[in-house]
Amino acid sequence: MRVREDGLVVAINATLLSWTGLARSQVVGRRFDVLCTLPTRILLQTHLLPLLMGSGRGDELHLTLRGADGAPLPVLANAERRALPEGVVIDWLVLPMRQRHRFEQELLDARRAADAANAAKSEFLSLMSHELRTPLNAIIGFTRILHKSPTVASDARARDFLARVEANGRHLLALINQLLDLTRIEAGHDEPELAGTDVVALVREVVARLEGQPRAPGVALVVEARDGLAPIVTDAVRLSQVVVNLVGNALKFTHAGAVAVVVVDDGRLPVAIEVRDTGIGIPADRLEAIFSPFEQAERGTSRRYGGTGLGLAIARVTCARLGMTLTVRSTVSEGTTFRVDLPTSPTAP
């Protein structure tokens, strides 16, 4: 709706007319006041019009218009004072509060439905994961027993078959454990156990555990860190899992060069952990997608390199639970750096 500076309405759209039930001839050429209840008229004269004269605009103004039947019509309005060749006007953008309430309710309902669906998904995955893990543990256990039997020990072909069964069983068990981790964290059932943590020692211990992990010939795994940094308050077990996931991921996709785990510090405290590799890199348009469950850098990556696409999703969710942020930068064919920004509160001296 457009109103002249003297208060006369010069234009109004059909939508606003339909909301009020008035005809165009009942509004255009008449004062804007005719549309308003008495309290709104007083508000216009004492507050809103002086505001528009001074600042030139007003946002989210609560007004009450009158319909054709005299019924009040609460609205939310934005107004802007504009100078045109034909004179100064005030343009009003009006939305009935009932419309806004309806929109807000629709958004709220959609959010609740999405939360319910996500909770149902997490519960289903957790239930199915537990149901699958029990028989898988039995399969792996009986496979180990068969390995020790004299009959199998003397049969190379049987040993090979059993080794395949156990390897695939372990792979499925790892996937199920990752699903359980993800659903537990998303459901908020994994409360961090905070304590003073020596980040440098933690990183060195994780890297030592991963020294024997399969990787391309000649790829080095190194730690770059300064000793003597103050400990920080965090969950050491969860942070270790994050570093394990990031380093394991880097080793998998690096064919030459090195994977370096770097503890970045400010001279007193560790401020970040970076895992830098010289691997295949990640396309720019996939840098966020890789943090979604079951996603990898490229659609065919899981076939070529294996994996489920859950490790990075778990790492990011875990970091968020610990008050940390996990980010990535990468150049295709040059390498990738994952960075975990650590909380900066040290333990008490």
Residue 93 domain-assigned (yes or no): yes
Contacts of 229 (CB under 8 A, 6+ apart): 198, 199, 200, 263, 265, 268, 269, 270
Which residue range(s) make up the domain with 126? 112-186
49: domain CATH number is: 3.30.450.20
Distances 346 to 77, 202, 226, 343 between C-alpha atoms, Å? 49, 16, 16, 8
> Does 275 reside within a domain?
yes
Number of structural domains the chain divides into: 3
What CATH code is carried by the domain that includes residue 233?
3.30.565.10
Task: Write the pLDDT tens digit of every residue in 195-242.
Answer: 999 999 999 999 998 888 888 899 999 999 999 999 999 999 899 989
Cα→Cα distances 302→188, 253, 293, 308, 311, Å: 29, 11, 13, 7, 12
Cβ atoms of residues 180 and 130 within 8 Å: yes
The pLDDT tens digits of the residues spanning 149-180 come to 888 777 888 888 888 888 888 777 777 777 77
For residues 199 and 335, state if they share a domain: yes
> Looking at 100, 130, 152, which one is the last position of a domain?
100
Please write the tens of the pLDDT for every residue from 28-50: 998 888 788 898 889 888 888 88
Average pLDDT over residues 306-318: 78
Looking at the fold, whether 124 and 163 belong to one and the same domain comes out as: yes
Q: Does 281 reside within a domain?
A: yes
Do 248 and 322 share a domain, yes or no? Answer: yes
- Please indicate, yes or no, if residue 315 is contained in any of the structural domains: yes
- Model pTM score: 0.55
User: Which of 100, 129, 157 is the last residue in one of the domains?
Assistant: 100
